[in-house]
């Protein structure tokens, strides 16, 4: 159906999945507090949360199949892009909780509320994916971030977890201030908070060179770059990812990033597309810097969680290409890439989580030495995830097509980003160095004599591993259906046909 | 035979079946491993026999191609075209011509021999080894058949991981270093090719969804110069040059060859290097004829080829390790192939293909022989041997014959190819040809000298004397005999092979010449002074 977003009832109807999730989360929080903390209770609430997420997913699918749309531009979007992103976020949340239930048992975390926090975080993210108004963006970011700050410090007995949480909170608050100040300046320059209106005003009043607007966009860019961990605003990521409980690390690396990027794309495509020339250079260089820094620093990591943290920074760099590319194709490439990246990241962190003994230990890459000889399937699965992150065909499954899609979006972009595509592939060669390092440790080195037998893997973690491997490999052979779905759910930069000749490094033979 | 093949609709299904059969075999091996609890010895025996029979089936199936396809026709043969990712214009398109036919037959016929060559040497995780070998075969065959650039790229990359693992898990002392070096080198080239392929596909799509069909892209690049054709050619050429390998991108090859297990070395030398030269013949040159024939580009490539020929031979001369010697000799031989391709006459092109095939046979055989002696002596240092002919006469005979063919002595297959390249290249590139010809002398020097030190010098070392009675067994003789027959047959009567490739080579040379003429006519007339 078509919603009239000015009417409160219809606005609520358009927010049905979000409201369902939030309402369910509130109920679940009461349930969680109802009984004393225990492992069994923690598990029950976790499973109930997964059930709620699946119900939300079903609602999203139902609304997207129905082809709902909004009558006119409002504070939220009702479009395919939102549904696509919602589904990826919900998938990530299910993975997080599935891993967290067993990880909590092992680490002695009995607070059932931890799962509810994941639900709140996802609710915030879904609002972000829908937001078409700066105020709503801020609301979503805060709901998401506050929950994730707490989740990072979930393991109260771990000093590292506390350190990570505090660091994330302080830096996150700082970055939010940037974002908010940027929003204020943009509002000051345009007098609008809705994306479409901002775009219109910029065009009508010809604010393309307005300093207040440009500074506002710049500050917002800094805030967004922090949220997605783009270099040079990435410094928090390795420490936080390393200190947080492993399932939460996966959540941050994949799901939080997807949500932040969805909003990033929407703001930049819809509100700021008219001043493309003003920010394209900055994002271009941000992408290059992120790819280079992430890849080079990842090479020297000895801790697998830190290595994956830097790898997630690298993927931020790749995804920034979709922001600069600014086209329908790029927005669909983003959803495709986000899905592939979510699958691979959750798979990899599932292995990390199940390999980690209880207590506060370094997840060293050398612990994986000779894993193939004792856990052949897990080592093979890990190899698949790493090759997917590397973007390798067939063995890395859908990861390859994700990269292919990005390259296609970059070359076909109106601004012509062939050079960026070349930089992307060249830096991804560097990434072979560290992804394959793990493969080589697992497959080509003998098991160390003093190495302990890896712990048995729980049923839920097994399920996450199986689902991610099957999806990655299956979609890696037959991606056409997924391509079709993403392609019909893209969204268009709010087109006032700006002059695209802004002198980005171009491929001009 | 032809009638029978037509009757069973052979051309309609053979190429997909050749691609899928190894994968089925791999799946079989995995299932076998999961369901059967066996001790190491029984596992080795069951794994190798499953793989062997799959490869034999593959070889038997593929032989029909010799009769079934019409190499004279300008159409693709055994053509199959199925939609794969319609939104991106990527299709599953396979088809072959005479050139691809020879390489496919080389692959399918050599693979069972490679399995026989590693019959007893793979003891750790044999199921995994043979599974990887089977997957690798699919990748290699896919490269030779693919007529869709997206599908081609996928196949091109698919071979990388199995080979990486084969070198890294079952390789020698420095296997970790060699395997990652192999991987990274290949990947740099191929990822740039990926950008080039996507760019070509988008240009061929003309604003709509991209098109990756080989014929469509060929039509695109022939119709008008594509945007950035020099860069695109460069990306393709780099990917192929690393694979061939051309000087100075060859440094991964000695490491990979030396460290790989026997089957790995055989496949690397005999088939995987050929994918590089095949890439030039199928993609880089025909898609960008005016770039490939640009005097500057051509000079650069020819100079690198000639450097590779001479440098490879000179470095081979001083190698103490026999396997490394053969590896460097590959650099030299493959230089001939590149020279033949870029000299761009029908004879040189056919010579290049002949060198491609005969190098596959003789170097494959050399690596197998090295593997056999290594299993007995656990060394490859030439100085550790001496007088082997006295204790292992059969081995000595085989080594001599195969070495003579690698040198290119008349009457063996090596001679035909190199001779054709030299006479074919001389008319257009006399200087390079003269320099390249000198390496024939070096080839004789390094190989004969090595053979002399291994099998003829006095038998002084007790370890070598202890080899008495440990000569080649029936399995080893059985696997070398077909290779020796091929060496002599192609040396004496190469006509059938030349006939099969002639039409394709002729078409390629003609079309490149035509494109060059066309582009010259488009140029403004030179200003008279």
Span A174-223, pLDDT tens digits: 999 999 999 999 999 999 898 888 888 888 888 888 899 999 999 999 99
Residue to test with chain A: of B194, B204, B227, B259, most A Cβ within 10 A:
B194
> With 90 as the cut, is the pLDDT of residue A28 above it?
yes
As beta bridge partners, residue A69 has: A2
What pLDDT, on a 0 to 100 scale, did the predictor assign at position B40? 77
Q: Which whole number is the average pLDDT over A410-433?
A: 89
User: For B396-433, what is each residue's pLDDT tens digit?
Assistant: 899 999 999 988 888 888 888 888 999 998 888 888 89
Confidence check: pLDDT of B37 > 80:
no
Which two three-digit tokens encode residue B492? 């004496």
- Rounded distance between C-alpha atoms, residue A340 and residue A346, angstroms: 10
Give the model confidence (pLDDT) of A392-404 as tens digits: 988 988 999 999 9
Determine the length of chain A. Answer: 509
CB-based contact A221:A275 (threshold 8 Å)? no
The two structure tokens encoding residue A283? 């994002």
Question: A23: Cβ–Cβ under 8 A, 6 or more apart, which residues?
Answer: none
Which residues of A fall within a CB distance of 8 Å from B164? 436
Q: What is the mean pLDDT of chain A?
A: 88
User: A432 to chain B: which residues are within 8 Å by CB?
Assistant: 183-184, 187
Q: Does B179 touch chain A (CB under 8 A)?
A: yes
Looking at residue A499, its pLDDT comes to 43
Of A393, A408, A443, the CB nearest to B169: A443
The answer to whether B227 faces chain A, any CB pair under 8 Å, is: yes
Q: What is the pLDDT of residue B2?
A: 80
**Which chain B positions have a beta carbon within 8 Å of A392's beta carbon?**
157, 160-161
- What is the C-alpha to C-alpha distance for residues B315 and A387, in angstroms, rounded to an integer? 36
Neighbour-count burial of B491, counting CB atoms closer than 10 A to its CB (0-12 exposed, 13-18 middle, 19+ buried)? buried
Q: Are B192 and A392 a contacting pair at CB < 8 A?
A: no
Q: Which residues pair with B91 in a beta bridge?
A: B83
Between B39 and B78, where is the model more confident?
B78
The verdict on a CB contact (< 8 Å) between B169 and A479 is no
In chain A, which residues have their Cβ closer than 8 Å to the Cβ of B199? 411, 418
Question: Nearest Cα to B463, choosing from B370, B365, B392, B368?
Answer: B392
What are the chain B neighbours of A485 within 8 Å (beta carbons)? Answer: none
Q: Is the pLDDT of residue B223 over 60?
A: yes
As given in the structure block, the two tokens for residue A178 are 């940037």
What values do phi and psi take at B147, rounded to 5? -125, 25
Look up tokens 């393709």; give the residue.
Answer: B236
CB-neighbour burial class of residue B209 (10 A; exposed 0-12, middle 13-18, buried 19+): middle
pLDDT value at residue A309: 92
Q: Where do runs of H (alpha helix) occur along A326-417?
A: 328-355, 371-374, 376-390, 398-412
pLDDT band at residue A384, thresholds of 50, 70 and 90?
Answer: very high
Question: Which residues are paired to B213 by β-bridges?
Answer: B148
**Nearest chain B Cα distance for residue A247, angstroms:** 29
> Which of A400, A480, A509 is nearest residue B231 as measured by Cβ atoms?
A509
Average the pLDDT over B266-277 and give the result. 91
The model's pTM: 0.92
Tell if the CB–CB gap between B202 and A507 is shorter than 8 Å. Answer: no
Q: What is the pLDDT of residue A495?
A: 54
User: A69-70 and A2-3: which strand pairing?
Assistant: parallel
**Quick one: which of B232, B252, B266, B234 has its CA closest to B184?**
B252
- Is the per-residue pLDDT at B187 higher than 70? yes
The predicted structure's pLDDT at residue A498: 44
In this structure, are strands B90-96 and B77-85 parallel, antiparallel, or unpaired? antiparallel
Quick check: A372 and A442 in contact, CB under 8 A? yes
Output the CA angle A66-A70-A76, nearest 5 degrees. Answer: 110
The whole-angstrom separation of Cα A215 and Cα B12 is 64
Q: How many Å apart are CA B529 and CA B513, to the nearest integer? A: 28
Give how far B463 is from chain A: nearest CA, Å.
Answer: 30
Q: Report the pLDDT value the prediction gives residue B154, as an integer from 0 to 100.
A: 93
Provide the pairing of β-strand B77-85 with A69-70: unpaired
Q: How many CB atoms lie within 10 A of CB B384?
A: 16
pLDDT per residue over A44-99, tens digit each? 999 999 999 999 999 999 988 887 777 666 788 888 899 999 999 999 999 999 99
Cβ pairs A/B, distance under 8 A: 93
Task: Report chain A residues touching chain B, CB-CB < 8 A.
Answer: 387, 392-395, 400-401, 404, 407-408, 411-412, 418, 421-422, 425-426, 428-429, 432-433, 436, 440, 443-445, 478-480, 483-484, 487, 507, 509
CA–CA dist A123, B515 (Å, integer)? 61
Sort out which chain B residues have CB atoms less than 8 A from A509's CB and list them: 227-231
Rounded to the nearest angstrom, the minimum Cα separation between A393 and chain B is 6
pLDDT at A72: 62
Mean pLDDT for the stretch of residues B486-493: 90
In this complex, is the C-beta atom of B210 within 8 Å of any C-beta atom belonging to chain A?
yes
Closest residue of A to B185, CA-based?
A: A429
Cβ–Cβ of B161/A408 closer than 8 Å?
Answer: no
Nearest-CA distance from A422 to chain B in Å? 7
**Among A105-109, A368-372, B358-362, B487-491, where is mean pLDDT lowest?**
A105-109
Q: For A104-123, how does the pLDDT look when each residue is reduced to its tens digit (9 = 90+)?
A: 888 888 888 889 999 999 99
Cβ count near A394 (within 10 Å): 18
Instruction: Return the half-sphere exposure (C-beta side, CA atoms, 13 A cut-off) of residue A366.
Output: 8
Using one digit for the tens of pLDDT, what is the confidence trace for B445-462?
899 988 888 888 888 888
B82 lies within 8 A of chain A by CB: no
Helices B495-522 and B346-377 pack at an angle, to 10 degrees, of: 130
Residue A473 clears pLDDT 90, i.e. is over it: yes
- Please report the ipTM that was assigned to this predicted complex: 0.91
Write out pLDDT tens, residues A261-273.
999 999 998 888 8
Percent of chain B, pLDDT > 70? 98
Mean pLDDT of A351-369: 82
Could you tell me which residues come within 8 angstroms of residue B195 by beta carbon, excluding any fewer than 6 positions away?
A: A407, A411, A418, A421, A422, A425, B235
User: Which tokens is A107 given?
Assistant: 């680490």
HEC string of B371-408? HHHHHHHCCCEHHHCCCHHHHCHHHHHHHHHHHHHHHC
- Is B157 near chain A, with CB under 8 Å? yes
- Rounded to whole angstroms, the Cα distance separating A134 from A194 reads 6
d(CA A382, CA B467): 45
pLDDT of residue A500: 44
* Cβ atoms < 10 Å from Cβ of B251: 13
A304-325 vs A398-412: helix axis angle to the nearest 10? 30
Summarised one tens digit per residue, pLDDT across range A326-336 is: 888 889 999 99
Any A CB within 8 A of B367 CB: no
User: How many angstroms away from the CA of A397 is the closest CA of chain B?
Assistant: 11
pLDDT value at residue A505 = 52
Residue A426 to residue B191, Cβ atoms within 8 A: yes
- A484 band by pLDDT with thresholds 50, 70 and 90: confident
A140-148: long-range contacts, CB 8 A cutoff, minimum separation 24: A140/A259, A140/A263, A141/A176, A141/A179, A141/A227, A141/A260, A141/A263, A142/A176, A144/A256, A144/A259, A145/A172, A145/A176, A145/A227, A147/A117, A147/A118, A147/A120, A147/A121, A148/A121, A148/A248, A148/A251, A148/A252, A148/A256
| pLDDT at B522 > cutoff 60 | no
Task: Show the CA angle centred on residue A307, arms to residues A301 and A311, nearest 5°.
Answer: 130
Do B158 and A479 make contact, defined as CB atoms within 8 angstroms? no
Residue of chain B whose alpha carbon sits nearest to that of A430: B184
pLDDT for position A502: 44
Residue B344, beta-bridge partner list:
none
d(CA B233, CA B243): 15
Say yes or no for a CB contact (<8 Å) between B195 and A404: no
Class of residue B248 by CB neighbours under 10 A (exposed 0-12, middle 13-18, buried 19+) = exposed
pLDDT band at B526 (very low <50, low <70, confident <90, very high): very low
- A447-460 tens-digit pLDDT: 887 777 788 888 99
Dist CA A150 CA A245 (whole Å): 11
Cβ contact A259:A207 at 8 Å? no
Say yes or no to pLDDT of A143 above 90: yes
* Cβ within 8 Å, pair B175-A444: yes
pLDDT at A207: 83
Contact A421 B227 (CB under 8 A): no
Query: What is d(CA A429, CA B150) in angstroms, rounded to the nearest whole number?
Result: 19
> Residue B525: which pLDDT band, with cuts at 50, 70 and 90?
very low
pLDDT 10s digits, A232-284: 888 899 999 988 999 999 999 999 999 999 999 999 988 888 888 888 889 99
d(CA A495, CA A504): 20
Q: Which residue in B has a C-alpha nearest to residue A446's C-alpha?
A: B169
pLDDT at B528: 36
Cβ neighbourhood burial of B379 (10 Å; 0-12, 13-18, 19+): middle
> Quick count: other Cβ atoms within 10 Å of Cβ A134?
24
Give A89's contacts (C-beta < 8 A, 6+ positions apart). A122, A125, A126, A129, A255, A258, A259
**Cβ contact A399:A340 at 8 Å:** yes
Closest to B279 measured CA to CA, from B247, B228, B233? B233
Give bridge partners of residue A181 from the DSSP assignment.
none
Q: For residue A105, which of A358, A469, A290 has the smallest C-alpha distance? A: A358
Residue B119 pLDDT > 80: yes
pLDDT, mean over chain B: 88
Please write the tens of the pLDDT for every residue from B190-210: 899 999 999 999 888 887 788
DSSP A327: S
Distance of CA B196 to the CA centre of its chain: 23
Of the candidates B92, B364, B147, which has an alpha carbon nearest to the alpha carbon of residue A480?
B92
Q: How far is CA A293 from the centre of its chain?
A: 19
Number of H helices, E strands in chain A: 21, 2
A436 with B183: Cβ contact below 8 A: yes
> Which contiguous run of DSSP H or E holds residue B80?
strand B77-85
């Amino acid at each position: 159906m078509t919603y009239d977003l000015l009417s409160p009832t219809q606005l609520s109807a358009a927010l049905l999945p979000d409201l369902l999730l939030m309402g369910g989360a509130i109920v679940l929080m009461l349930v969680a507090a109802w009984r004393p903390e225990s492992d069994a209770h923690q598990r029950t609430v976790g499973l109930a949360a997964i059930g709620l997420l699946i119900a939300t997913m079903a609602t999203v699918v139902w609304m997207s199949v129905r082809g709902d749309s909004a009558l006119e531009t409002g504070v939220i979007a009702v479009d395919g892009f939102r549904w696509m992103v919602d589904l990826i976020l919900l998938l990530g949340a299910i993975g997080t909780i599935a891993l967290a239930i067993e990880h909590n048992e092992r680490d002695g975390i009995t607070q059932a509320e931890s799962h509810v926090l994941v639900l709140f975080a996802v609710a915030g993210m879904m609002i972000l994916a829908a937001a078409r108004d700066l105020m709503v963006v801020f609301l979503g970011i805060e709901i998401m971030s506050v929950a994730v700050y707490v989740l990072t410090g979930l393991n109260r007995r771990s000093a590292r977890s506390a350190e990570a949480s505090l660091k994330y909170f302080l830096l996150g608050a700082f970055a939010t201030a940037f974002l908010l100040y940027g929003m204020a300046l943009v509002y000051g320059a345009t007098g609008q908070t809705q994306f479409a209106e901002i775009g219109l005003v910029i065009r009508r009043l010809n604010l393309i060179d307005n300093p207040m607007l440009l500074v506002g966009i710049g500050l917002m860019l800094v805030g967004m770059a922090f949220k997605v961990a783009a270099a040079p605003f990435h410094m928090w990521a390795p420490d936080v990812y390393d200190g947080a409980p492993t399932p939460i690390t996966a959540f941050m690396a994949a799901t939080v990033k997807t949500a932040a990027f969805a909003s990033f794309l929407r703001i930049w495509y819809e509100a700021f597309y008219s001043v493309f020339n003003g920010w394209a250079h900055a994002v271009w260089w941000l992408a290059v810097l992120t790819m280079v820094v992430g890849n080079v620093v990842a090479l020297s990591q000895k801790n697998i969680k830190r290595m994956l943290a830097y790898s997630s920074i690298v993927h931020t760099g790749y995804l920034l290409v979709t922001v600069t590319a600014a086209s329908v194709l790029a927005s669909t490439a983003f959803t495709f890439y986000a899905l592939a990246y979510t699958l691979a990241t959750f798979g990899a962190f599932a292995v990390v989580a199940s390999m980690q003994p209880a207590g506060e230990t370094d997840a060293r890459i050398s612990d994986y030495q000779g894993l193939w000889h004792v856990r052949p399937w897990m080592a093979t699965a890990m190899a698949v995830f790493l090759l997917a992150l590397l973007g390798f065909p067939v063995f890395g499954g859908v990861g390859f097509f994700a990269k292919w899609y990005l390259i296609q979006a970059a070359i076909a972009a109106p601004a012509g980003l062939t050079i960026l595509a070349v930089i992307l592939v060249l830096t991804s060669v560097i990434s072979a160095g560290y992804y394959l390092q793990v493969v080589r440790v697992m497959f080509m080195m003998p098991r160390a004599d003093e190495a302990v037998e890896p712990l048995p893997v729980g049923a839920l973690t097994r399920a996450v591993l199986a689902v991610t491997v099957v999806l990655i490999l299956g979609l890696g052979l037959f991606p056409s259906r997924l391509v079709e779905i993403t392609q019909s759910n893209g969204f268009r930069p709010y087109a006032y046909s700006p002059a695209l000749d802004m002198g980005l490094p171009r491929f001009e033979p | 035979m032809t009638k029978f093949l037509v009757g069973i609709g052979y051309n309609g299904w053979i190429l997909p079946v050749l691609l899928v059969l190894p994968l089925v075999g791999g799946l079989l091996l995995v299932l076998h491993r999961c369901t059967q609890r066996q001790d190491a010895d029984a596992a080795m025996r069951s794994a190798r026999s499953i793989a062997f029979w799959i490869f034999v089936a593959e070889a038997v199936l593929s032989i029909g191609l010799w009769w079934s396809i019409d190499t004279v026709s300008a159409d693709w043969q055994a053509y199959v075209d199925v939609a794969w990712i319609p939104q991106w214009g990527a299709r599953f398109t396979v088809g072959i011509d005479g050139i691809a036919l020879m390489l496919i037959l080389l692959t399918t016929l050599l693979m069972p021999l490679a399995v026989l060559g590693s019959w007893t040497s793979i003891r750790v995780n044999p199921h995994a080894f043979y599974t990887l070998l089977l997957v690798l075969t699919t990748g290699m065959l896919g490269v030779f058949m693919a007529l869709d650039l997206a599908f081609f790229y996928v196949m091109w990359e698919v071979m990388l991981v199995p080979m990486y693992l084969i070198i890294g898990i079952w390789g020698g002392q420095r296997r970790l270093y060699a395997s990652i070096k192999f991987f990274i080198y290949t990947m740099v080239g191929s990822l740039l090719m990926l950008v080039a392929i996507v760019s070509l596909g988008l240009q061929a799509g003309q604003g709509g969804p991209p098109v990756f069909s080989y014929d469509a892209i060929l039509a695109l690049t022939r119709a008008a110069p594509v945007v950035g054709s020099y860069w695109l050619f460069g990306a393709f050429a780099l990917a192929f040059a690393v694979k061939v390998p051309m000087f100075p991108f060859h440094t991964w090859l000695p490491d990979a060859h030396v460290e790989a297990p026997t089957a790995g070395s055989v496949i690397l030398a005999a088939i995987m290097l050929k994918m590089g030269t095949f890439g030039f013949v199928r993609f880089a040159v025909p898609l960008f004829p005016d770039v490939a024939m640009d005097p500057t580009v051509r000079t650069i490539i020819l100079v690198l080829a000639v450097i590779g020929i001479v440098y490879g031979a000179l470095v081979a001369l001083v190698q103490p390790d026999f396997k490394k010697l053969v590896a460097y000799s590959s650099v030299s031989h493959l230089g001939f192939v590149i020279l033949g391709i870029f000299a761009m006459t029908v004879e040189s092109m056919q010579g290049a293909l002949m060198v491609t095939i005969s190098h596959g046979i003789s170097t494959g055989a050399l690596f197998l022989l090295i593997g056999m002696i290594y299993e007995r002596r656990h060394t490859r240092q030439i100085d550790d041997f001496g007088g082997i002919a006295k204790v292992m006469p059969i081995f000595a005979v085989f080594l001599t014959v195969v070495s003579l063919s690698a040198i290119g002595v008349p009457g063996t297959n090596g001679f035909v190819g190199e001779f054709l390249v030299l006479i074919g290249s001389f008319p257009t590139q006399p200087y390079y040809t003269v320099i390249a010809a000198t390496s024939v002398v070096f080839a004789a020097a390094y190989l004969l000298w090595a053979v002399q030190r291994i099998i003829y010098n006095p038998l002084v070392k007790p370890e070598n004397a202890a080899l008495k009675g440990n000569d080649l067994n029936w399995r080893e003789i059985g696997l070398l005999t077909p290779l020796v027959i091929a060496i002599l047959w192609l040396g004496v009567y190469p006509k059938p092979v030349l006939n099969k490739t002639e039409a394709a080579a002729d078409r390629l040379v003609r079309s490149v010449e035509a494109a060059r003429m066309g582009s010259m006519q488009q140029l403004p007339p030179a200003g008279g002074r």
